[in-house]
Amino acid sequence: MVSNGGGNSGSKIRWGELEEDDAEDLDFLLPPKQIIGPDEHGIKKIIEYKFNDDGNKVKITTTTRVRKLANTRLSKRAIERRTWPKFGDAVHEDVGSRLTMVSTEEILLERPRAPGSKAEDSKAVGDSMAQLVKGGAVLMVCRTCGKKGDHWTSKCPFKDLAQPAEGFVDKPPVAEANMPGGAVKGAYVPPSLRAGAERPAGTEMRRRNEENSVRVTNLSEDTREPDLLELFRPFGPVSRVYVAIDQKTGDSRGFGFINFVNKEDAQRAIDKLNGYGYDNLILRVEWAAPRTN
C-alpha cells in the first residue's frame, strides 16, 4: 500500500493553484500594467492587458475617480506630490496597495564575538566582568565560603569540606519559633530538606560529584559514553561518564572519564579493567588527576 502521509511531496496536484499558475504563465507575454494618476482632479487611469477566452490580447483601460475622504483636506503640496511619478520599488506598485515597502538593503549586524575568535580571551574577560561592581554590590560571591569577588561557588577551595554558608538557598529558611509547626510563612521547603529528612552521614548535597574520577585511555574511536557506562556499571553506581570529543571533527579523542559514587567500586573497576581487551585495544584504567582549570 502506498501512502504519502498527507505531505505535499509527490505528484499530488493542488487544483486550487493550478488555474492561477496557468494564467501567470502567459502574463510575461503582455505589456506591463500602467497606472496613471490620480491627477489633481482625482482621476486615475489603469491600462492593463489580458488574454480573453479566445486567447487574444486585449487592452483594458479603467478610469476611476479617487474619492476624497471626508474630513480630509489635502494641502496644495500634498496634492502636488500625488502627481509625481513613482520611483524606486514603488513603480511596480498599485496606488495605495502598500503603505510600507520592504527594504532589500543589506544590513550587517555586529556580533559581540565573531565566530572563531579567541575563546580564551573572552572567557577571561567574562570572568573579570563577573567581578565588576554592579549597583554597588559585588556580583561574584561564593555561596560556600562567602568570599566576595574571588571565585564562584563551584570553584571554592572549601567546596568539599565546608557546609554552605548561612543565608543562601542551599539551606531552608530558618523556621520561626512562633509559627505553628515551626513553618515559615509562605516558604516552601522540599521534603528532602524538611526537619527529620534522611541525610546519610558523609553524603554531600553537591550539584556534581567530581570525586572518584577514573580515567580510561586507549579507547577505540567509536566508543561512546553509553558503551563506557555499560562497561563500568557492573562495579557500582556511576555518577557520570564522559568521552572526550574533538570539537572540530566530532571524533572521540580516545579517552574518557567515569565517576563512581563509591571509591571502593572505582578501585575495583580500575583493578579489573586496566589492561582489559576492549574493541581489540588494551584499555588503560587508572585514577584521574584532578581537572586543571
| Binding residue count for DNA, defined by CB under 7 A | 34
113 counts as binding DNA under rule CB under 7 A: no
Q: How far is the CB of 96 from DNA (least distance, A)?
A: 49
Q: Cell 561592581 appears where? A: 133
Which helix (H) or strand (E) segment holds residue 21: the answer is helix 15-27
Q: How is residue 148 written as a grid cell?
A: 566576595
Question: Coil, helix or strand for 261?
Answer: coil
Q: How far is the CB of 139 from DNA (least distance, A)?
A: 7
257 counts as binding DNA under rule CB under 7 A: yes
168 counts as binding DNA under rule CB under 7 A: yes
The residue (of 89 and 160) whose beta carbon lies closer to DNA is: 160
String of DSSP letters for 90-112: GGGSPTTS-SS-------PPPPS
- Amino acid letter at 29? L
The alpha-helical segments, DSSP class H, found in 131-236 are: 225-232
Q: How far is the CB of 67 from DNA (least distance, A)?
A: 59
285 counts as binding DNA under rule CB under 7 A: no
Question: Coil, helix or strand for 6?
Answer: coil
Integer Rg of the chain from CA? 37
Burial tier of 261 (Cβ tally within 10 Å: 0-12, 13-18, 19+):
middle
140 counts as binding DNA under rule CB under 7 A: yes
Binding mask 192-211 for DNA (x = CB under 7 A): ----------------x-x-
Residues in 142-161 at the binding interface with DNA, rule: CB under 7 A: 142-143, 152-155
The residue (of 35 and 145) whose beta carbon lies closer to DNA is: 145
Residue of 247, 248, 250, 277 interacting with DNA (CB under 7 A): 247
Residues in 115-134 at the binding interface with DNA, rule: CB under 7 A: 127, 130
Q: In residues, how long is the chain?
A: 293
Residue of 244, 261, 268, 278 interacting with DNA (CB under 7 A): 244
291 counts as binding DNA under rule CB under 7 A: yes
33 counts as binding DNA under rule CB under 7 A: no
Distance CA 108, CA 171 (A): 48
278 counts as binding DNA under rule CB under 7 A: no
Q: How is residue 45 written as a grid cell?
A: 487611469
Distance CA 36, CA 61 (A): 11
Which residues in this chain contact DNA in the complex, by CB under 7 A?
A: 127, 130, 139-143, 152-155, 168, 208, 210, 213, 215, 217-219, 242, 244, 247, 253-255, 257, 259, 284, 286, 288-289, 291-293
